[in-house]
């Protein structure tokens, strides 16, 4: 599915496998990345940033295999990150070769602090490198994204100049990263508005946003960005990523879903005003969250919005009473809308293989027949010792099988 220059939905760009994996302890092997990429395609993301092909042979292989197997004609666009240097761009292009729809995402910092201490480059050098490298990426693929790293702390006037050059050189998406999670929602919204008003050729590209959660503001910043013209959101499942993580996909998507009227940027276009704001199949959210948590080993905090264990639990008597009378008293969305089955079958020693396999599938596991056989034996052994088997038990059994295989 090719991303259109003037999208009629908010484009969801998932970077779980690139920026998300960039956090301590979350390293994934190629097979695990493939499993997640397939699930991201089922979830309905528009773009999968599958890795940073130049970073390591493992990353190259992951991007290449995802391009081959998930990057089908009607599947998501597959993307690789590349620094604004020829070797990175060439490697990204090679890794992406098999994908039907492919994107190179190249970046160079624009904040003075990054230029002075990290890159040791002048602003003038950046103004020369960016168009040259965007044009180089464009010689391999039609779909090129450019990111001015640390845009949130860059001089806006300089940023406008860089973006204009990137678009003139062929960038079809310009992504505005709040790399260190420093901006506030009103500042970030104003930054996007400033870009829309001051970059003369901005209508030839999609404005994207990318943000980290150091102050817990990433999702709020993105929603403000949508109100000011951003049409692509870069996010990760469960918000995993560098330091405090990235903007969480499930929070953004459900905010746009539950508050569609408030955030709808397409309201002027009559035919689209009633359509969902993203192409995400929200019923796949819970399963995707569990899968990513299991494979990365990054636990989801119980009070995490949307996918935390307590997100739909009601503890106090007053709340329970209200919900029993009418769910809307304390629930703003239905658990089923994220694929959480309210009528969970409780598994125990009398449960059969079918119920066991079904629940594992709901939790996002795809086990081979032999893995399933071994997992089922372990489940029966555990069920003899415990009255009720929880999802945590099942996940640990399934993980064991996947990692021993």
Residues at the contact surface with ligand KIV, assessed by CB under 6 A: 19, 107, 147, 149, 177, 179, 210, 212
DSSP string, 71-96: --TTS-EEEEEEESSHHHHHHHHHHH
Contact stretch for Zn ion (CB under 5 A) within 13-21, 281-289, 313-321, 327-335:
13-21
Contact stretch for Zn ion (CB under 5 A) within 19-27, 83-91, 163-171, 367-375:
19-27
Identify the bridge partners of residue 173 per DSSP, sorted by sequence position.
145, 206
Nearest approach, Cβ of residue 74 and Zn ion (Å): 28
Which helix (H) or strand (E) segment holds residue 177: the answer is strand 173-178
19 near Zn ion, rule: CB under 5 A? yes
Q: Which of residues 283-302 bind Zn ion (CB under 5 A)?
A: none
Which of Zn ion, ligand KIV, none interacts with 339 (beta carbon under 5 to 8 A by kind)? none
Give the dihedral of Cα atoms 384, 390, 391, 395; nearest 10 deg. Answer: -40
Which of ligand KIV, Zn ion, none interacts with 149 (beta carbon under 5 to 8 A by kind)? ligand KIV
The Cα 157–Cα 194 span in angstroms is 9
State which residue, 19 or 371, has the beta carbon closest to Zn ion.
19
State which residue, 107 or 376, has the beta carbon closest to ligand KIV.
107
Query: Are 43 and 280 within 8 A, CB to CB?
Result: yes
Nearest approach, Cβ of residue 148 and ligand KIV (Å): 9
State which residue, 103 or 210, has the beta carbon closest to ligand KIV.
210
DSSP string, 47-74: EEEEE-TTT-HHHHHHHHHHHHHT--TT
Nearest approach, Cβ of residue 314 and Zn ion (Å): 36
CA atoms within 13 Å, Cβ hemisphere of 56: 10
State which residue, 107 or 379, has the beta carbon closest to ligand KIV.
107
Nearest approach, Cβ of residue 190 and ligand KIV (Å): 19
The Cα 282–Cα 285 span in angstroms is 5
State which residue, 181 or 339, has the beta carbon closest to ligand KIV.
181
Query: Are 291 and 55 within 8 A, CB to CB?
Result: no
Nearest approach, Cβ of residue 14 and ligand KIV (Å): 13
Q: What SS3 state is found at 109?
A: strand
Q: Which of residues 82-101 bind Zn ion (CB under 5 A)?
A: none
Nearest approach, Cβ of residue 284 and ligand KIV (Å): 25
Residue whose C-beta lies closest to Zn ion: 19
Phi-psi region of 44 (alpha: psi -120 to 50; beta: other; left: phi over 0): left
CA atoms within 13 Å, Cβ hemisphere of 6: 6
Which of Zn ion, ligand KIV, none interacts with 147 (beta carbon under 5 to 8 A by kind)? ligand KIV
The Cα 376–Cα 389 span in angstroms is 12
State which residue, 27 or 396, has the beta carbon closest to Zn ion.
27
Here the tokens at position 327 are 């769910």
Query: Are 277 and 263 within 8 A, CB to CB?
Result: yes
Which of ligand KIV, Zn ion, none interacts with 290 (beta carbon under 5 to 8 A by kind)? none
- CA 139 vs CA 85, 103, 184, 297, 349: distances in Å: 14, 12, 37, 39, 60
Nearest approach, Cβ of residue 233 and Zn ion (Å): 13
Here the tokens at position 76 are 């998501």
Which of Zn ion, ligand KIV, none interacts with 293 (beta carbon under 5 to 8 A by kind)? none
Which of ligand KIV, Zn ion, none interacts with 102 (beta carbon under 5 to 8 A by kind)? none
State which residue, 182 or 266, has the beta carbon closest to ligand KIV.
182
State which residue, 242 or 371, has the beta carbon closest to ligand KIV.
242
State which residue, 138 or 210, has the beta carbon closest to ligand KIV.
210
Q: What is the CA radius of gyration of the chain?
A: 22
Count of residues in contact with Zn ion, rule CB under 5 A: 1
Using CB under 5 A as the criterion, which residues of the chain lie in contact with Zn ion when the complex forms? 19
């Amino acid at each position: 599915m090719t991303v259109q220059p003037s999208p009629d939905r908010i484009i969801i760009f998932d970077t779980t496998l690139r920026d998300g994996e960039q956090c301590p302890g979350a390293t994934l092997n190629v097979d695990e990345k493939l499993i997640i990429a397939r699930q991201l395609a089922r979830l309905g993301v528009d773009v999968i940033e599958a890795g940073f092909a130049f970073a390591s042979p493992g990353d190259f292989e992951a991007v290449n295999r995802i391009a081959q197997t998930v990057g089908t004609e009607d599947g998501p666009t597959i993307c690789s990150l590349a620094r604004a240097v020829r070797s990175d761009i060439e490697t990204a292009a090679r890794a992406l070769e098999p994908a039907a729809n492919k994107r190179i995402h190249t970046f160079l910092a624009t904040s003075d602090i990054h230029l002075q201490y990290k890159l040791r480059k002048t602003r003038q050098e950046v103004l020369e490198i960016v168009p040259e490298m965007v044009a180089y990426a464009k010689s391999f693929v039609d779909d090129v994204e450019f990111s001015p790293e640390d845009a949130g702390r860059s001089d806006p006037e300089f940023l406008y100049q860089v973006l204009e050059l990137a678009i003139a050189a062929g960038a079809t998406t310009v992504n505005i990263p709040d790399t260190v999670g420093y901006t506030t929602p009103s500042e970030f919204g104003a930054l996007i508005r400033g870009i829309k008003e001051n970059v003369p050729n901005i209508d030839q590209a999609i404005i994207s946003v990318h943000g980290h959660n150091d102050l817990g503001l990433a999702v709020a910043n993105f929603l403000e960005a949508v109100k000011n013209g951003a049409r692509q959101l870069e996010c990760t499942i469960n918000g995993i990523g560098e330091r405090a993580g990235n903007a969480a996909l499930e929070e953004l998507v459900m905010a746009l879903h539950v508050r569609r009227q408030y955030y709808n940027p397409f309201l002027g276009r009559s035919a689209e005003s009633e359509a969902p704001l993203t192409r995400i199949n929200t019923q796949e959210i819970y399963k995707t969250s569990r899968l990513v948590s299991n494979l990365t080993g990054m636990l989801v905090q119980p009070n995490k919005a949307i996918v935390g264990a307590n997100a739909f639990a009601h503890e106090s008597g007053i709340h329970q009473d209200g919900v029993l009378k009418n769910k809307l008293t304390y629930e703003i969305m239905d658990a089923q809308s994220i694929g959480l089955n309210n009528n969970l079958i409780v598994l125990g020693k009398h449960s059969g293989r079918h119920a066991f396999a079904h629940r594992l599938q709901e939790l996002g596991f795809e086990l081979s027949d032999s893995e399933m056989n071994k997992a089922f034996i372990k489940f029966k052994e555990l069920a003899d010792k415990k009255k009720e088997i929880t999802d945590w038990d099942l996940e640990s059994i399934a993980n064991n099988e996947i990692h021993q295989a």
